[in-house]
Structure 1
Amino acid sequence: MNAQTQAATVRIFIALAPPDDAKEELERELRPAYEAYPRMRWNRIEDWHITLAFLGELPVTAVPRLRPPLADLAARSRPLELALSGGGHFDERVLWTGIEGDLEGLHLLATDVRAVVKECGVAFPDRPLRPHLTLARARRNQPSCAVEAAAGLAAFTGRRWQAERLHLVGSNIGRGPGPIHYRDIEAWPFG
């Protein structure tokens, strides 16, 4: 991808973000894993999120079309009571913690978010929602790290918290060396 193409696109997703104290609680639980697996690519705590719809690489012109209907959706949605819980892995490489609480409400919100995106004429890979928060990725030559770290989270149950905002998030993935960073493009409070 050349610089002109990069400037004309943005990689975005729509998500919920746990409050800082819930993330700090999980971070404390992860300290043994941080020490045991320092070569894993750990996501920054400030970037932890629960993805409702991953839209992928889109033209920047698509973003303004999404703002009003997502704001309207947030205004008519209620906060969700959720908790971070346990641990698992995808493909023995991606470490995650699970989500508990109002999972029915979470699935309904994800369905509504995806419907809004489709109504805006934005095509995206519409995969089934698997509620989780990604924590780290193991390097290809160390896949057992994620499996072992997930086992260390098995007994973790975080406190309940309210998801109170819908976030439209951009990322720099594929934009050069270094870790992935996320930034809110915009966030809207639930009604």
Structure 2
Amino acid sequence: MNHQTHFFYAVPIPKEIKLIMKDHCEKFKQSLPFNRWVHHEDLHITLAFLGFAPSDQLEKSIENVSTELKGNPSFSLQINQLGIFGRKESPRIFWADTLKSDELQFVRKKVFTACEDAGFQLETRPFRPHITLARKWTGDEPFHHERLDVWQELQPNSLAFLASEVVLFQTHLEKTPKYEVKKVFPLKK
């Protein structure tokens, strides 16, 4: 079977935070019946989803992103709270977001513009930085927002980390974890 591969730019989540989130997700699974849980190695914050990318256009985006991010400083992020996208009673996406970060918005804008300048037509909805944890509610009962209160029990302290790079990922739907690092763009420490 021929799977068309997709590419996207993202801020990766550091390994130590991924492991904490993996433990949290094991606890979430007990009370939050979602169909597909994201492998902890695949946790990230998407900056620009390219989809299928012709090689010349992909190379141009790599050049553009490299130029745009040259000398850009690392910045701190903090995982904040849980949330959902989709219908309130049957959410499509379960996520964790970060505290508002002007630095993240700035880096996202640079990456997004660099990809558009390479000829990609990208998502036009406002940027809502988040880390997807699971997809497709499968509960017998409607989802209730109070279920997200489990976060306060699990994470009374902050989950802060340094965003020190942007990564170009390639998706492999037939594998777990699904995302392969194709190019790393270090941010200045």
Scaled by the length of structure 1, the TM-score of the pair is: 0.81
Cα distance change, pair 37–27 in 1 and its aligned pair in 2 (3 A): same
Q: Which runs of 5+ in 2 are unaligned?
A: none
Q: Distance in 1 between matches of 2:144 and 2:187?
A: 34
- What residue number does 1:165 align with? 165
Alignment pair present for 1:152 and 2:147: no
Q: Distance in 1 between matches of 2:146 and 2:84?
A: 9
Q: Distance in 2 between matches of 1:147 and 1:14?
A: 30
- CA deviation string 1:145-170 (max 9, x = no partner): 68565342256353221100111111
- What residue number does 2:95 align with? 96
Alignment pair present for 1:31 and 2:26: yes
- What residue number does 1:186 align with? 183
- CA deviation string 1:26-61 (max 9, x = no partner): 222233212344663100000000011112222233
Q: How many residues matched? A: 182
Q: Distance in 1 between matches of 2:50 and 2:141?
A: 27
- Contact 1:96/1:150, CA 8 A, preserved across alignment: no
Q: Post-superposition shift, 1:76?
A: 2.2
Alignment pair present for 1:67 and 2:62: yes
AA aligned to 1:65 is K
Amino-acid identity (%)? 22
Cα distance change, pair 158–124 in 1 and its aligned pair in 2 (3 A): same
AA aligned to 2:73 is R
- Contact 1:81/1:160, CA 8 A, preserved across alignment: yes
- What residue number does 1:15 align with? 10
- What residue number does 1:119 align with? 117
- Contact 2:12/2:45, CA 8 A, preserved across alignment: yes
Q: Post-superposition shift, 1:106?
A: 0.8
Alignment pair present for 1:131 and 2:129: yes
SS at match of 1:153: helix
Q: Which runs of 5+ in 1 are unaligned?
A: none
- Contact 1:87/1:150, CA 8 A, preserved across alignment: yes
Q: Post-superposition shift, 1:75?
A: 2.2
